[in-house]
Amino acid sequence: MGKIAENLEKVKSNITEACARSRRATGDVKLVVVTKSANVDAIKEVVNLGYSDLGENRVQHLKLVAEEIGEYLEQGESQSLPAKINWHMIGHLQRNKSKQVLKITDFIHSVDTLRLAEEIDKASAKAGVNPKILLQVNCSLEPQKYGVPVGAAVHLAEQIAEMGNVRLCGIMTMGPLTRDKDLVRVSFVRAREIFEEIHKEGFSPKDFVHMSMGMSADYEIAVEEGATILRVGSAIFS
Ligand SMILES: *Cc1c(COP(=O)(O)O)cnc(C)c1O
């Protein structure tokens, strides 16, 4: 088994164990393989193993690899290749790039302002699509982080839920950059509280089911605190 396959097995078994600890079904947790630091051959290896949810944080790189991997799938040399890739845009998005992103993906994790949501909604109307979006919340309270401040999250969710083209499917957050596992957990618990509060307010659409949280350093804690989508890169590619 190659290094990447081995890493993926390890990540998957850690997820399974974290699910067991927290009495969750493994099927309720989706792994998005973050390819931003991987070369195309490494990404092909992941795809060959049957993984079809891939994440990128920059529009330029997303366009590049989506095209290369798309061509690779068309050649269809191996049985285990998925029919298509679900790309996830997980990084900060500039408003003027919304249209380009919508051509490639219908899942944007990083919506954190009203203006960005409005722009995506407008571009979606023009393109005739209904993308899934997540509200990125700054649950770690670090000032340099992207994400709507905790105190403004519910109101912004309500405004986005009223838009006609985008589908608000949940929230996304990034854990704090620290080795202190308790601090990480506090941040994920805060995310879950906001998620539940938005549910309680009653305006959330039926698609509002996802919590995208957990990266290489903290995905097991994220599973324990209710994550439904994990975004893992370096633990797989290094
Ligand atoms: C890079 C990145 C990840 C993955 O981080 P790793 O530590 O490499 O697992 C997850 N989410 C976002 C938004 C990222 O930019």
- CATH number for 113: 3.20.20.10
Closest ligand 1 atom to residue 219 Cα is 9
Condensed to tens digits (0 to 9), the pLDDT of residues 152-166 reads 999 999 999 999 999
133-147 mean pLDDT: 94
Q: What is the 3-state secondary structure (H, E, C) of 213-228?
A: CCCCCCHHHHHHCCCC
d(CA 89, CA 74) in angstroms, rounded, equals: 22
Closest ligand 1 atom to residue 237 Cα is 8
Task: Name the nearest CA neighbour of 11 among 218, 226, 224, 228.
Answer: 218
Please report which confidence band the pLDDT of residue 98 belongs to, taking 50, 70 and 90 as the band edges. Answer: very high
Q: Residue whose CA is closest, atom 11 of ligand 1? A: 231
Closest ligand 1 atom to residue 216 Cα is 9
Residue 34: the pLDDT is 98
Handedness of CA 156, 176, 22, 91 (dihedral sign): positive
57 C-beta closer than 6 A to ligand 1: yes
Q: From the CA of 201, how far away is ligand 1's center (Å)? A: 30
Query: Which of 57, 108, 187, 237 has the most ligand 1 atoms within 8 A of CB, as the residue to mutate?
Result: 57
Condensed to tens digits (0 to 9), the pLDDT of residues 213-228 reads 999 999 999 999 999 9
Please report which confidence band the pLDDT of residue 150 belongs to, taking 50, 70 and 90 as the band edges. Answer: very high
62 C-beta closer than 6 A to ligand 1: no
Residue 127: the pLDDT is 97
150 C-beta closer than 6 A to ligand 1: no
Block residue for tokens 């601090």: 183
Q: Name the residue range of residue 31's domain.
A: 3-237
Closest ligand 1 atom to residue 57 Cα is 15
Give me the number of domains the chain comprises: 1
Q: What is the value of pTM for the model shown?
A: 0.97
Condensed to tens digits (0 to 9), the pLDDT of residues 174-185 reads 999 999 999 999
In 15-58, beta strands by DSSP E? 30-34, 53-56
Helix, strand, or coil (residue 216): coil
